[in-house]
Amino acid sequence: MTPAAGAPLLEAEGITKSFPGVRALHRVHLTLQRGEVLALIGENGAGKSTLMKILAGVQEADAGEIRVDGRPVSFNTVESAMRCGIALIHQELNLASNLDAGSNIFLGREPNRWGWIDEKMLRRQARGYLEAVGLDIAPDVPLESMTLGRQQLVEIAKALSVNARILIMDEPTSSLSQSEAERLFAVIRELRGRGVSVIYISHRLGEVKELAGRVSVLRDGENAGELGRDEIHHDRMVRLMVGRDVERFYQRRPHRPGRVVLEVKGLRTRAYPASAIGFALRAGEIIGMAGLVGAGRSELLQTLFGVQAALEGEIRVDDQLVMVASPRDAVAAGLALVPEDRKGQGLILPMSVSDNLSLVSLRAHRRAGGFRDRKAERVVARDMIAAMRIKTPSDRQEARLLSGGNQQKVVLGKWLAVDPRVLLLDEPTRGIDIGAKQEIYGLMEDLAERGVAVLFVSSEMEEILGMSDRVLVLHEGRLSGELTREGLSEEAIMHLATGGAPAAETSP
């Protein structure tokens, strides 16, 4: 079983894969050494996920060869990839939340005799793997009582328990808090030290810089280039991903904030009943809301939008006191929310682009007796598709078939059709590629120019720094400070986000 001398741990060559109408991968190659963290980056639709699925045995390549330890292998099931030591850690966690940690680790491979599970053995072995990923919990802790970050570590423990030598992680930090992500990085480094190799897919270039020993870039289903440890810089990665220089990523235009559109006073949310929040938003202003995950940002937006009832507080739109007990009230008051969970809360996936775009404005276009005015709806939809440059073969295309960026444009578009006064966005660019990100930023700028007050929540520091006229920082449900353009810096935000006192006295 000694590996062929000098052969890399994993080698993929000439991988080609087509789906009906799409060439997902074309002659892609990839190598992975022992104990290496390789970052795989690229825009959405560049073929990263397809490549990973092929390496993990979820899908089969049309052509190409995969070698492990220099020996050609062929995978057509997840189990056959597992036998070669390859485990895929999915973007969406693949665990059974009704079982405990130990049962999840050994799911499908329970130590048993004649089908009878040996619980004692299972727990004893599980404990070792939990320790290996730095989790000091008992194996019988139910999964549903654990945070997402811990669940992810359980998933890694599960991969280790099948003696995985190659871990493929697809956007593992997308739903983790800062501290959870850091814990994950520590575990990855520790695993690397023990000779485990990791292929790390992420949109967050900051993470890539921190973790990766090498970066491989895919573009349009082909290799776009590779960067060694010393070459990993933000600009170079972006250039390879986009295929051109991104001259000025955040094209801020000067805003002239007008009068106050939204005023919030003493608002207490269910998530943090102890803190009352107050702030004001002006017309034509873009405000970023920063904070660690769990700081109550999403909850605040949802409370403003009536998804969750407020415990107390005043919301005024254009100086009018409004009662927001439901999203319907919020819409009537001129508020719009682009939710964080695009697929779950923003879109009706099996419905067409046109039907999604007209969902909010249906009422406005209805005819006598409640009948839909389908002609008007389609006109609105087509205008919106053209105005927002939504890439779709037709307005009848199902929303689920669009790329993430175009889906997000549809969500935005359905609100623009009713001309909101205040636009709330929750992680507007999460999981969408760089080109589409830029377009979303452009749309936010356009709206501000038209006098809409824009409030967006983001966990991406660069986005907050690049887009905001002002930044509100939350810490554990409390508004811990406000930063204007002049005092804006990553350090200042982190200082407030981690509970530091606002440095109000020192700034002019």
Partner 1 sequence: MKRILGILVLLIVVYLATWIMSDLLTGRQSFMSNFNQENLIRRTALFGIISVGVAFVIITGGIDLSIGSVVCLVGVGFPWLLLDKGCPLWLALALVPAVSGLIGLTHGLLITRLRLQPFVVTLCGLLIYRGITRGFTRDQTAGFRNDFTNFRRLATDEIPVPFLGGFGIPMPCVILAVVAVIAGIFLNRTIWGRYLLALGNNEEAARFSGINTGKMIVLAYVICSLLAGLGGLWFVLDVNSAQPVDFGNFYELFAIAAAVLGGCSLRGGQGTILGVIIGAALMQVLRNMITLVDEIPQNIEFAIIGTVILAGVIGDEVTRRIVARRRRGVEGVGTGLPPAA
53 binds partner 1 (CB under 8 A): no
Give the per-residue contact string, 117-136, with partner 1 (x = CB under 8 A; - = no): x-------------------
Note the residue count of the chain. 508
109 binds partner 1 (CB under 8 A): yes
CB of 477 to partner 1, least distance (A): 8
Pick between residue 106 and residue 200 the one whose CB is nearest to partner 1: 106
* CB-CB contact of 162 with 82 (8 Å): yes
Pick between residue 107 and residue 494 the one whose CB is nearest to partner 1: 107
110 binds partner 1 (CB under 8 A): yes
Give CA–CA dist 285/180, Å, rounded.
33
Pick between residue 155 and residue 439 the one whose CB is nearest to partner 1: 155
Give CA–CA dist 210/207, Å, rounded.
5
Q: Which of residues 265-324 bind partner 1 (CB under 8 A)?
A: 271, 293-299
**Residue 111 DSSP class:** -
Q: Which of residues 216-275 bind partner 1 (CB under 8 A)?
A: 271
Of 148, 332, 364, 379, the one binding partner 1 (CB under 8 A) is 148
Pick between residue 109 and residue 374 the one whose CB is nearest to partner 1: 109
Give the per-residue contact string, 57-86, with partner 1 (x = CB under 8 A; - = no): -x-------------------xx--x----
CB of 103 to partner 1, least distance (A): 6
- Contacts (Cβ under 8 Å, ≥6 apart) of 24: 17, 18, 47, 50, 221
Q: Where are the alpha helices (DSSP H) in 225-317?
A: 234-242, 297-304
Pick between residue 162 and residue 418 the one whose CB is nearest to partner 1: 162
- Contacts (Cβ under 8 Å, ≥6 apart) of 495: 503
What Cα–Cα distance (Å) separates residue 474 from each residue in 4, 150, 287, 397, 495? 55, 23, 13, 39, 11
The tokens for 45 are 């639709």
DSSP 341-385: -IIIII--TTSBHHHHHTTTTHHHH--GGG---HHHHHHHHHHHH
Helix (H) or strand (E) holding 479: strand 478-484
The tokens for 133 are 């990923």
Of 140, 419, 476, 482, the one binding partner 1 (CB under 8 A) is 476
Pick between residue 16 and residue 147 the one whose CB is nearest to partner 1: 147
What Cα–Cα distance (Å) separates residue 337 from each residue in 332, 386, 411? 13, 22, 9
Of 151, 197, 361, 458, the one binding partner 1 (CB under 8 A) is 151
116 binds partner 1 (CB under 8 A): yes
Other C-beta atoms within 10 Å of 10: how many? 26
* CB-CB contact of 103 with 119 (8 Å): no
Size of the site for partner 1 (CB under 8 A): 44
The tokens for 474 are 């939350």
CB of 486 to partner 1, least distance (A): 29
Pick between residue 94 and residue 484 the one whose CB is nearest to partner 1: 94
149 binds partner 1 (CB under 8 A): yes
Q: Give the torsion sign (CA, 169, 151, 189, 87).
A: negative
Of 6, 21, 108, 370, the one binding partner 1 (CB under 8 A) is 108
Of 88, 237, 281, 337, the one binding partner 1 (CB under 8 A) is 88
Pick between residue 344 and residue 508 the one whose CB is nearest to partner 1: 344
Interface segment toward partner 1; rule CB under 8 A; list 25-33, 336-344, 397-405, 484-492? 336-344
Of 74, 76, 98, 163, the one binding partner 1 (CB under 8 A) is 98
The tokens for 301 are 């937006």
Give CA–CA dist 54/199, Å, rounded.
13
Q: What angle do CA 55, 58, 62 make, to 5 degrees?
A: 70
The tokens for 245 are 């220089």
Interface segment toward partner 1; rule CB under 8 A; list 217-225, 338-346, 378-386, 442-450? 338-346
* CB-CB contact of 243 with 43 (8 Å): no
Pick between residue 14 and residue 142 the one whose CB is nearest to partner 1: 142
172 binds partner 1 (CB under 8 A): no
Give residues in contact with partner 1 (CB under 8 A). 58, 78-79, 82, 88, 90, 92-99, 103, 107-110, 112, 115-117, 144-145, 147-149, 151, 158, 175, 177, 271, 293-299, 340-341, 344, 476
